[in-house]
Amino acid sequence: MAAAVLTTPKTSSRREGERAKSTTSAAGILALLEEPQDVLKVHGLRMLNDYAMRTSWHEVASAIEIIEGMHEDEFFSHRDLAALVASKVRSFSFRSYCKRERVKLRSVIFFMCVKR
């Protein structure tokens, strides 16, 4: 029995950690931003900065006012982190907007060519 345990392939701990960190929704993290304790808000911002921006930035964009409000709050201890997350959201949103506009332009050109 011990030999069977030793010969079974192990997955790397890095892969397991990545799988555990992947999120399908940012709703739980965004809820942390509305908590009264700054510690929870900072934890939420760090999670958004580290993981959620890769997968669900469009959900985070719905809370941009909250994040920018944290940056503008003079008494919030991690204003720079809030500014970083807000700038990432704005950057992702702008890239998405540009991509949509390019697709729209291509479709107009396509329909003009097909029509003739």
Domain presence at residue 10? no
pTM beyond cutoff 0.75: no
Domain presence at residue 108? yes
Domain presence at residue 2? no
Q: At residue 5, does pLDDT exceed 80?
A: no
Domain presence at residue 102? yes
Helices 38-47 & 79-115 angle (0-180, nearest 10) = 40
Q: Identify the pLDDT of residue 51.
A: 77
d(CA 64, CA 11): 38
Domain presence at residue 69? yes
Domain presence at residue 51? yes
> Which tokens belong to 13?
């701990």
Q: How many domains does the structure of the chain reveal?
A: 1
SS3 23: coil
Query: Measured on CA atoms in the order 30, 31, 32, 33, is the torsion positive or negative?
Result: positive
Residue-wise pLDDT for 9-27, tens only, equals 444 444 444 444 555 788 8
Q: Identify the pLDDT of residue 11.
A: 43
d(CA 68, CA 89): 10
The count of other CB atoms within 10 Å of the CB of residue 72 is 11
Domain presence at residue 20? no
**Where in the sequence is the domain holding 60, given as residue range(s)?**
26-115
Domain presence at residue 7? no
The amino acid that residue 99 corresponds to is K
Asked whether 76 and 70 are in contact (CB, 8 A), the reply is: yes
